[in-house]
Structure 1
Amino acid sequence: MNRPARLNRTLIAVLGLLLMAAGALPAAIRFHWLPALGADRPLVPGTALPPAWVLYAAAAAGIVLALAGLRWLAAQLVRKPRGHVWRFDDSPDDGTTELAAGAAVVPFVEELRGYPGVHHATATLAGTRQAPVLEVVVSVEQDGDPTGIRGRIHAEGVPRLCQALDLDSLATRIELRFTTTSGSRVG
């Protein structure tokens, strides 16, 4: 259960409904669907236009709000791949072994967190044992070397994980994020 994601989607839905209602109100007045608010009555008192700077400020605020909303919406579309339980049953007569894909990457993530310049790391092993996909998100410190970290993941981390899971190859997607944290952690 991901409570922040549920709350986030609920807030998006409520905000969307409020915006649709606010957009439908002028149309309802115009087409006389709300008789209490006649189409011939002004919405605001007075007929003078506001100063030009007010119109520019309102337009700029609307554009910033729209871009922020689009960014928020785009963030909702990015989802973590779902992990599976892998079954190792080469000879069913001897029994089966099951491994949660999430548990398989825990040592890999701990190894990544020990790399110089890595502030935080997460990984998800998705797909089946026949077609696995590794999704890695690494937060790089301000003075970290992203090229070196990426190279080390491909040269050391992923081959070690492949060996541990007895895989010939592992499709890997690495996302590097940068933090404002600088310097190595003490620990």
Structure 2
Amino acid sequence: MLGLLGLVLLLAGALAVAIHLDFVPQVDRDASLLPGTALPPAWVLWVVAAAAVVVALLCLRWLAAQIPRRKVVSWRWADEAGATRISTATATAPFAEEITAYPGVRKVEAELTGPHTAPRLALVVRAHGDADLRGIRRRIDDEGLPRLREALGTPDLQAIVEFRMSNSKGDARVR
């Protein structure tokens, strides 16, 4: 969609330059684009300016969303014996290795987000094209997640799993 919009804008700009340089003899470059020469009311200009600002802010928001955000998050527990600090990447590394050892799994990316009191786990499981996805998900729910919950002391840890399968025709995504 963005490529098509870019192509249309590129063609419109090329047409405007061609008309300005008199490469299109059917169009008079000195003719007015719209009939009449009166300016529109002031409120129309303000509305157009406000709409342009809103569109620009939406574009900036979209652009910012394209930047990957991988920051290291640390969890900290404090008790009478002292304080414990652990990186979420360190906490999920053994879990990801365990899931990678499952039959049909090529690679696992695990990301633990949120505070340690209400954590969320996002998994991207890259599997072979003939892998048993239900079996993999069942093993994650029955074996891997309970161990991770116990290790972290978070019994309410939920996981969102995204499967990415590879086959001879390319990558297909299954959620």
Q: TM-score, normalised by structure 2?
A: 0.61
How many equivalent pairs are there? 129
SS at structure 2 position matched to 1:96 = strand
Structure possessing the higher relative contact order (Cα contacts under 8 Å, 6 or more residues apart): 1
Partner of 2:119: 132
Say which structure is richer in strand. 2
Partner of 1:85: 74
Partner of 2:130: 143
The sequence identity of aligned pairs, in percent, is: 33
Render the CA deviation track for 1:94-131: whole Å, top value 9, x for unaligned: 43211110110000001001111112111111111122
**Structure 1 position 153 matched with structure 2 position 140:** yes
Deviation, structure 1 residue 20: 4.0
Q: TM-score, normalised by structure 1?
A: 0.58
Deviation, structure 1 residue 169: 1.1
**Structure 1 position 38 matched with structure 2 position 22:** yes
Structure 1 39/178 Cα, relative in aligned 2: closer, same or farther at 3 Å?
same
The residue type paired with residue 87 of structure 1 is R
CA RMSD between the two structures? 3.2
Paired residue for 1:25, among 3, 6, 14? 14
Residues 18 and 24 in structure 2, CA contact (< 8 A), matched pair in contact too: no
**Structure 1 position 98 matched with structure 2 position 85:** yes
Runs of 4+ in 1 over 6 A off after TM superposition: 16-19
Partner of 1:123: 110
Structure 1 83/177 Cα, relative in aligned 2: closer, same or farther at 3 Å?
same
Q: Identify unmatched segments of 5+ residues in structure 2.
A: 28-61, 169-175
Residues 113 and 119 in structure 2, CA contact (< 8 A), matched pair in contact too: yes
Say which structure is richer in helix. 1
- CA–CA separation in structure 2 for the residues paired with 1:40 and 1:143: 58
Q: Identify unmatched segments of 5+ residues in structure 1.
A: 1-11, 44-72, 182-187
